[in-house]
Amino acid sequence: MPSAETSNRREPTMNVLPRKIDFLEMEEKWQQIWEEDGVYRYDWDDETRPVFSVDTPPPYPSGDFHMGNMLNHTYFDMRARYKRMRGYNVLFPQGWDCHGLPTEVAVEKAKGIRKSDVPPDVFRKMCEEWIEQYIGVMKTAVIRMGASIDWTTEYRTMEPEYMRKIQLSFLQLYEKDMIYKGEHPINWCPRCETAIADAEVEHDTKQGRIYTIPFETPDGEVLIATTRPVYLPACVAMGVHPDDERYRHLIGEKAKVPLFNQEIPIIANVEVDPNFGTGAMMICTYGDKADVVAVARYKLPVVKLIDGTGVLHDVAGKYAGMQIQEGQKSVVNDLREAGFIKEEKELEQEVGLCWRCDTPIEIVTAKQWFMRTISLTDKVLETANAITWYPDWMRQRLINWATGLDWDWVLSRQRVFATPVPAWYCKKCGKIRLAKSEELPVDPRVTMINDTCECGDTEFIPDNDVMDTWFDSSMTCAIHAGWPDKPNWRRQYPASVHPSGQDIIRTWAYYLMVRSLALFDETAYDSVLINGMVFGDDGRMMSKSLGNYVATPEVFSKYGADAPRQWAAAGGSTGTDIPFRWEDVEYGWRFQRKLWNACRFAGMRLEDFDPSENVEPTLIDKWIVTKLEKTVKRATETMEECDFMNASEAARNFIWHVFCDHYLEAAKTRLYGEGDAKKSAQQTLYYIVKQMIKLMAPITPHITEEIWRTMYNSDVSIHISPWPEYNEGLVDEEAEKIGDLIIAAISDIRREKNRKGVSLNALVKEAKIYADPEQAVFLRMGFQDIKDTLKIEALEIIEGEGGESKLEDYPSVGFSMVI
Binding site for RNA (CB under 7 A): 19, 198-199, 201-203, 289-290, 350, 393, 396-397, 400-401, 404, 406, 502-503, 506, 539, 541, 571-573, 576-579, 581, 583-584, 586-587, 589-590, 593-594, 597-598, 600-601, 604, 645-646, 649, 656-657, 660-661, 664-665, 668, 672, 747, 750-751, 754-755, 757-762, 808-809
- Quote the least distance from Cβ 762 to RNA, whole Å: 7
Which one, 173 or 513, has the nearer CB to RNA? 513
3-state SS, residue 369: strand
Alpha helix stretches (DSSP H) within 507-551: 510-520
- Quote the least distance from Cβ 203 to RNA, whole Å: 5
Find the helix or strand (DSSP H, E) in which 746 lies.
helix 733-755
3-state SS, residue 311: strand
Q: Identify whether 441 is preceded by a cis peptide bond (ω within 30 of 0).
A: yes
Which one, 539 or 722, has the nearer CB to RNA? 539
Which one, 78 or 213, has the nearer CB to RNA? 78
Strand 179-189, strand 498-501: pairing: unpaired
Strand 423-426, strand 460-462: pairing: antiparallel
Count of Cβ atoms closer than 10 Å to residue 778 Cβ = 21
Which one, 60 or 174, has the nearer CB to RNA? 60
Which one, 198 or 465, has the nearer CB to RNA? 198
Which one, 465 or 584, has the nearer CB to RNA? 584
- Quote the least distance from Cβ 284 to RNA, whole Å: 16
Which one, 305 or 645, has the nearer CB to RNA? 645
Find the helix or strand (DSSP H, E) in which 213 lies.
strand 201-217
Q: What's the residue count for the chain?
A: 819
- Quote the least distance from Cβ 381 to RNA, whole Å: 13
3-state SS, residue 496: coil
- Quote the least distance from Cβ 601 to RNA, whole Å: 3
Output the CA–CA distances (angstroms, integers) from residue 214 to 137, 211, 222, 279, in the order listed: 61, 10, 5, 13
Which one, 298 or 656, has the nearer CB to RNA? 656
Which one, 302 or 533, has the nearer CB to RNA? 533
Which one, 397 or 498, has the nearer CB to RNA? 397
- Quote the least distance from Cβ 238 to RNA, whole Å: 20
- Give phi and psi for 481, each to the nearest 5: -70, -20
- Quote the least distance from Cβ 797 to RNA, whole Å: 22
DSSP, residue by residue, 25-42: HHHHHHHHHHHHHTTT--
Which one, 166 or 696, has the nearer CB to RNA? 696
Say if residues 40 and 92 touch (Cβ distance below 8 Å): yes
- Quote the least distance from Cβ 638 to RNA, whole Å: 10
3-state SS, residue 712: coil
- Of the candidates 809, 571, 568, 598, the residue with the CA atom closest to the CA atom of residue 703: 598
Say if residues 204 and 351 touch (Cβ distance below 8 Å): yes
Query: Is 808 buried (19+), middle (13-18) or exposed (0-12) by CB count in 10 A?
Result: exposed
Interior CA angle at 45 toward 42 and 46, to 5°? 75
- Quote the least distance from Cβ 148 to RNA, whole Å: 25
Say if residues 566 and 648 touch (Cβ distance below 8 Å): yes
- Quote the least distance from Cβ 344 to RNA, whole Å: 22
- Of the candidates 87, 83, 5, 9, the residue with the CA atom closest to the CA atom of residue 48: 87
What's the CA dihedral at 109, 114, 118, 122 to 10 degrees? 40
- Quote the least distance from Cβ 485 to RNA, whole Å: 36
Strand 220-226, strand 201-217: pairing: antiparallel
